[in-house]
Amino acid sequence: MQKYDVVIIGAGAAGLTAAIYASRRELKTLVLSMNLGGQAAMASEIENYPGAEKKSGLELIKIFADQAKKFGAEIIFDRVKKISAKGGKYPFKIKSTKDNFETKAVILALGRTPRRLNVPGEGKYHGKGVVYCATCDAPLFRNKKVAVVGGGNSALDAAILLSKIAKKVYLIHRRDEFRGEEYRVTRIKKTKNIELLLNSEIKEILGDDFLNKIIVENNQNQEKRKLEIKGLFVEIGYEVDPALIKGLVDLEENNQIIVKSCGETSTPGIFAAGDVTNIPYKQIVISAGAGAKAALSAYDYINKNK
């Protein structure tokens, strides 16, 4: 049974920033994660992280990881199976696929996963024209034809943002009405370079080295249409896997962890940061800041409970 001051679950921007801050406070720190970078690592280019020139998401995350290891944090790639709180000197026990750990504090930085279309070509062109964050990647498609798929506020916002950057925006929704707020819908209908494709679904994504076409089918008359585009923005929501955290901390209706201003959860000694929490604006810089706050909160908690 390996013992730590703090165990961080997740190696994205939030988790690795938490590791930097925790290890600099001389806490024995472990990061457990299935992979490095999470959703951030999927970004082909990042231009909006302060102080960093344009890099791929993986390049930026590797800098985070190197800093964390430089200050003494350990990173183990393994799947966490269970977290339990049973009191005592080391109140939290963590079981992974390969090992068992005890820790004085836990930081949950699990992230979340964008919902996929699950159509042919989506995986092949992920990061090569298929993207899941308009705020992150819209500037890469300046003066190009793009498509947005979705019917909620995130899809509507993506279409509005892209209409200012791209040459043409197709907004594809499988129903005849949007779920987003009406003022957004009204604005979209008045925007000349946005074309609405309602009652429509993407059936296939095509290309060479990069995406260049999609096949869209009208689900009322089964008429198919081939659209030549350079970017497809999938904005159909995100998912948090509640299996590990349900019953451990309080969750809101979308299974996101409810946190206070400095990452505190409903369970003393357990903190959370990043996209897995109910904070708005899911961005790398915001996740990094939340990770720093969670680590400092964990440090204070450990000091008060020696």
5, 99, 133, 262: which is the annotated catalytic residue?
133
Rounded to 5°, angle at Cα 16 from 4 and 106: 40
5, 136, 157, 275: which is the annotated catalytic residue?
136
Cα–Cα distance between 179 and 195 in angstroms, integer?
Answer: 17
Q: How far is CA 160 from the centre of its chain?
A: 21
91 near 104, Cβ under 8 Å? yes
Note if 157 is an active site residue.
no
CA distances to 95, 177, 217, 230, 240 from 114, rounded to whole Å, are 26, 22, 23, 20, 9
Note if 137 is an active site residue.
yes
Query: Which of 287, 129, 259, 98 is closest to 206 using CA atoms?
Result: 129
Instruction: Please enumerate in sequence order all residues whose Cβ is within 8 A of that of 30, keeping only pairs 6 or more positions apart, or say none.
Output: 2, 4, 6, 7, 8, 73, 74, 75, 76, 101, 103
5, 78, 137, 262: which is the annotated catalytic residue?
137
Note if 78 is an active site residue.
no
φ and ψ of 30, to 5 deg = -125, 135
φ and ψ of 58, to 5 deg = -65, -40
Catalytic residue IDs: 133, 136-137
